[in-house]
A and B are shown apart, each in its own frame.
Chain A
Amino acid sequence: AAGVIQSPRHLIKEKRETATLKCYPIPRHDTVYWYQQGPGQDPQFLISFYEKMQSDKGSIPDRFSAQQFSDYHSELNMSSLELGDSALYFCASSLGRGLNTEAFFGQGTRLTVV
């Protein structure tokens, strides 16, 4: 079965550069979630989208922005990168945003800021 696709899988950037992470949800899924997981930490919710509109917002820095496009894929844009942004970034998708809908995660993008 098709899963959530994230690209790239690995990314190395220098401080103050920008990065764009992409997420392709499972076909027909209309909801996308973004998470950040630092070394040794639990996944932290950043932001979510439902039907191309922002749904929930978590601890996403102002330097980050995200959007969901008409084909439901989503992009997380990160500017003025800092060393502390080095982390695993996960995307998840679900059909609907209700409480009784499973969310499935991609394999993540490992971002390293040097």
Chain B
Amino acid sequence: DAKTTQPTSMDCAEGRAANLPCNHSTISGNEYVYWYRQIHSQGPQYIIHGLKNNETNEMASLIITEDRKSSTLILPHATLRDTAVYYCIVRVLGGTSYGKLTFGQGTILTVHP
């Protein structure tokens, strides 16, 4: 599976943009980047995903570099309720994988007043 690397933790002030980076230098051409978050023992929540183009939805924006070796999740106006563990996942198809989502160490984002 393509490995991802994320900062262990980040802080953000309420109302400011939160930019969460992710490195995935071994990503293959047909593999998607997914972002999930988990708020204190709740089920992981889907945020956004993309292949190579930047994506935006009501929750966040995903910026993928042209070489696809890294990406950034942007929460435009962070609130206290955005405090969570954020997981960057590269979804793999091939070998023995039919697209399972493999969670690695995510980023603990703390939004403070």
* Residues of A that sit less than 8 Å from B by CB: 4, 33, 35, 42-45, 48, 50, 55-58, 88, 90, 92, 97-108
Q: Is the CB of B51 within 8 A of A56?
A: no
CB < 8 Å A-B pair total: 66
* Residues of B that sit less than 8 Å from A by CB: 30-32, 36, 38, 41-46, 49, 51, 87, 91-93, 96-106
A45→B36 CA distance, assembly (Å): 15
Nearest-neighbor residue (CB-CB) of A58 within chain B? B100
30 contacting pairs across A/B (C-beta < 8 A): A4-B43, A33-B100, A42-B103, A42-B104, A44-B103, A45-B102, A45-B103, A48-B98, A50-B98, A55-B100, A56-B96, A56-B97, A57-B96, A58-B100, A90-B44, A92-B101, A97-B99, A98-B99, A99-B31, A99-B32, A99-B91, A99-B92, A99-B93, A100-B32, A100-B51, A101-B99, A104-B46, A105-B43, A107-B43, A108-B43
